[in-house]
């Protein structure tokens, strides 16, 4: 149990295009999902916290108009990188928090999405 999937696993796009990344909790409900970004040889940095049915909360320095987050259901959150540029190339990782049972409030991570902007 407690599986989180991400799609796509890797994407290459041209500068100026938008890219959508999906994060799904497959066997549990998640009212909260977190989006992290990881540059080469660095640790994971939290970008935003996504709450089902409400607006996301962004960390300082993260542009909310560039990184659009939608959390429309208890099992799906999406991150859209709008007008992507080469500096947005990174490894994007989502995690979901289980709200029920023995795993209450533990975070489970997706496999990550490698974004390369040409």
Binding status of residue 7 toward another protein by CB under 8 A: no
Dist. CA 97–CA 104, nearest whole Å: 8
How many residues bind another protein, per CB under 8 A? 21
**Paired strand residues for 77:** 23
Q: What is the C-alpha separation between 96 and 85, in angstroms, rounded?
A: 27
Closest approach of Cβ 107 to another protein, in Å?
5
Least separation in angstroms between CB 105 and another protein = 4
Q: Does 110 bind another protein (CB under 8 A)?
A: yes
Question: Which residues is 32 bridged to in the sheet?
Answer: 51, 97
End-to-end Cα separation, the chain, in angstroms: 37
Binding status of residue 105 toward another protein by CB under 8 A: yes
At its nearest, how many Å lie between another protein and the CB of residue 19? 18
* Binding residues for another protein restricted to 24-53, rule: CB under 8 A: 32, 34, 43-44, 46, 49
**Contacting positions for another protein (CB under 8 A):** 4, 6, 32, 34, 43-44, 46, 49, 91, 93, 95, 104-112, 114
């Amino acid at each position: 149990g407690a599986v989180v999937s991400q799609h796509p696993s890797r994407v290459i796009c041209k500068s100026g295009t938008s890219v959508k990344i999906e994060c799904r909790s497959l066997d549990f409900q998640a009212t909260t999902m977190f989006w992290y970004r990881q540059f080469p040889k660095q640790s994971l940095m939290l970008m935003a916290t996504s709450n089902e049915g409400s607006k996301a909360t962004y960390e300082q320095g993260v542009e909310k108009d560039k990184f659009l987050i939608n959390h429309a259901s208890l099992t799906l959150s999406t991150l859209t990188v709008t007008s992507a540029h080469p500096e947005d190339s990174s490894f994007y990782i989502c995690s979901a928090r289980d709200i029920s049972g023995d795993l209450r409030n533990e975070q489970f991570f997706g496999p990550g999405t490698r974004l390369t902007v040409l």
